[in-house]
């Protein structure tokens, strides 16, 4: 169980609390939890595995780590265990074959369990609608229009204070990902039946970033804002017109409320990522299917682990860890759970996310759960509800698919020697991109791409390219690609 430091002191610890007791009482399994520091989960698991003290069921959201455990033969295949001993989780796999695809390793066996979360956005591009109105501008539909609007926001005093203190768009935090997504600049693209390393899209995205910097439309010290906190504060103070944001529905609500408190006239809205010469795309969204657990190869009682997985996969268990206990934390109003006491819910239930690591978690997503908690009798809550509904349609749409050939979480895990080559080359290339953005006319995007290609070649990037070509040839008929995700959404109950 992750230790995030978010459990109220009076509620206990990650391994001893009322919900641990509830699991034991209701599952009939004498489960023991192991506390894992969230920010150091992979190093901690590695230590426990090396000392033969790792738990029987390792729950972890890092799919790359899961693949490495497979390569190191530290986890066991689970096909026969599920077939023989599972009922609940087996039904999840039958209903959502994509989860089985993701769980299956190259030897043809399943090694991981996961959860089905449903579809909701994670990355947004917000625009100050009141600034658009002030400057008599329309929301941008293309990257060229976006550039002009960002410059206008930075130069035409949209907040009316007579000072040169506004920015067009943030360039730290999640902004680079959003801009790259507009240009489908995801490093690897599918062309002519192969995965290839792309440079044309990289150059276009770089040129766009250079134009923003050259026009003083962004914070010129953005590289020092390593975690995006300064950009966040600038946005909350009402000084950024276009803001690339990543977070959940509650974080959106809280951020907008703080902005409105600081700037009462501020109005924000999500916009679709503008179209580039390469098409119109969306940024990364929450993975609807996520690997989240593996069974230790040295587990003493794997059958009991399957029993635990089954219990955690029940819809009733999902509902309990989302809403709490009926009559204690919620009541049913026309079949819809309604929180009875928000303070009690926050103290006793709100931190239970890590109990929901396995099985179906889509009947009411976190996105929908938060919308249910909004008070639509309050104008601000209605505004946020409209914003969230609009964002869902904008960012989860086959008309504007995710820019990559698959979600980041589904990218194949590189072997250690290939990963070493790739990471070293990528660091060198990122340094070139940064120098080009800051370099003005003295360092063109064209020259930067030439330098980046040379750094890639000198760093043995050809080996990485060959690995991806071979991987795609072997897995193109059995992997989960971007188009598969939208196909599921259209055909399944997710589309309701």
Q: Average pLDDT for residues 190-215, to the nearest whole number?
A: 97
Q: Which two tokens stand for residue 273?
A: 């990522």
Domains 9-119+287-364 and 123-284+377-395 share a fold: yes
Give the model's pLDDT for residue 496.
Answer: 45
Tokens 């001893």, located at residue: 16
Q: Which token pair is 188?
A: 């690897």
When pLDDT is averaged across residues 75-100 and rounded to a whole number, the result is 95
Cβ count within 10 A of residue 229? 11
Distances, alpha carbon 160 to alpha carbons 134, 144, 165, 249, 259, in Å = 9, 25, 10, 30, 17
Question: Is 189 in contact with 405 (CB distance < 8 Å)?
Answer: yes
Tokens of 137: 């501008």
Across the range 113-131, mean pLDDT stands at 95
What pLDDT digit, counting tens, does each position of 127-160 carry? 999 999 999 999 999 999 999 999 999 999 999 9
Residue 494 has pLDDT above 70, yes or no: no
CATH class of 9-119+287-364: alpha beta
What radius of gyration do the chain's Cα atoms show? 24
In this prediction, what percent of the chain has a pLDDT beyond 90? 88
pLDDT for residue 61 is more than 80: yes
Q: Classify strands 289-295 and 57-59 as parallel, antiparallel or unpaired.
A: antiparallel
Mean pLDDT of 275-286: 95
Is residue 265 left, alpha or beta, with left meaning phi > 0 and alpha meaning psi from -120 to 50? alpha
Q: b/e for 120-146, b at 16 or more Cβ within 10 A?
A: bbbbbbbbbebbbebeebeebeebeeb
Say yes or no to pLDDT of 83 above 90: yes
Map out the domains of the chain as residue ranges. Answer: 9-119+287-364, 123-284+377-395, 413-478
**What are 410's two structure tokens?**
């589904």
The whole-model pTM stands at: 0.90
Q: Quick count: other Cβ atoms within 10 Å of Cβ 175?
A: 24
**CA gap 48, 45 in Å, rounded:** 5
Residue with tokens 């599921």: 488
Q: Provide the b/e sequence for 188-201 (b: ≥16 CB within 10 Å).
A: bbbeeeebeebeeb
CA 433/CA 234 separation, integer angstroms? 24
CA distance 124 to 120: 11
pLDDT for 490: 61
Domain 123-284+377-395 in CATH 2.40.50.100? The answer is no
SS3 call for 307: helix
Question: From CA 450, how far away is CA 134, in angstroms rounded?
Answer: 42
């Amino acid at each position: 169980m992750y230790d995030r430091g978010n459990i109220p002191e009076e509620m206990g610890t990650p391994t001893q609390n009322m919900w641990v007791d509830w699991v034991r009482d209701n599952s009939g399994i004498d489960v023991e939890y192991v506390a894992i520091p969230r920010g150091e989960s992979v190093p901690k698991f590695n230590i426990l595995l090396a000392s033969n003290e790792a738990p029987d069921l390792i729950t972890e959201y890092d799919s790359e780590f899961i693949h490495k455990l497979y390569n190191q033969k530290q986890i066991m295949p689970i096909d026969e265990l599920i077939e023989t001993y599972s009922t609940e989780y087996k039904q999840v796999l039958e209903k959502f074959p994509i989860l089985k695809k993701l769980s299956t390793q190259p030897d043809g066996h399943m090694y991981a369990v996961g959860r089905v979360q449903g579809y909701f956005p994670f990355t947004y591009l917000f625009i100050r609608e009141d600034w658009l109105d002030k400057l008599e501008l329309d929301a941008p539909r293309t990257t060229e229009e976006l550039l002009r609007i960002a410059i206008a926001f930075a130069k035409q005093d949209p907040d009316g204070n007579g000072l040169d203190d506004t920015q067009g768009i943030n360039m730290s935090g999640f902004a680079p990902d959003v801009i790259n997504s507009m240009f489908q600049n995801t490093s690897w693209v599918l062309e002519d039946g192969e995965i290839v390393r792309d440079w044309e899209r990289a150059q276009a995205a770089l040129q766009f970033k250079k134009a923003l910097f050259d026009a003083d439309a962004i914070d010129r010290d953005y590289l020092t804002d390593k975690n995006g906190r300064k950009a966040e504060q600038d946005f909350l103070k009402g000084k950024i017109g276009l803001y690339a944001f990543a977070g959940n529905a509650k974080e959106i609500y809280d951020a907008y409320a703080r902005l409105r408190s600081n700037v009462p006239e501020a109005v924000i809205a999500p916009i679709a990522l503008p179209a580039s010469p390469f098409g119109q795309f969306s940024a990364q969204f929450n993975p609807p299917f996520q690997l989240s657990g593996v069974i230790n190869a040295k587990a003493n009682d794997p059958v009991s682990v399957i029993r635990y997985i089954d219990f955690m996969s029940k819809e009733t268990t999902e509902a309990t860890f989302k809403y709490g206990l009926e009559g204690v934390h919620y009541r049913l109003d026309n079949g819809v759970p309604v929180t009875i006491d928000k303070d009690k819910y926050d103290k006793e239930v709100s931190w239970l996310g890590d109990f929901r690591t396995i099985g179906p978690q889509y009947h009411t997503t976190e996105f929908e759960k938060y919308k249910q908690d909004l008070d639509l009798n309050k104008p601000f809550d209605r505004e946020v509800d409209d914003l969230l509904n609009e964002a869902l349609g904008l960012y989860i749409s086959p008309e504007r698919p995710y820019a990559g050939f698959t979600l980041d979480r589904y990218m194949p895990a590189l072997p250690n020697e290939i990963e070493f080559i790739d990471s070293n080359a990528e660091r060198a290339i990122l340094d070139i991109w940064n120098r080009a953005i800051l370099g003005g006319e003295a360092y063109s995007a064209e020259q930067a791409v030439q330098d980046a290609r040379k750094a890639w070649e000198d760093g043995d990037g050809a080996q990485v390219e060959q690995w991806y070509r071979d991987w795609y040839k072997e897995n193109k008929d059995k992997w989960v690609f971007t188009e598969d995700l939208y196909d599921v959404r259209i055909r399944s109950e997710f589309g309701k």
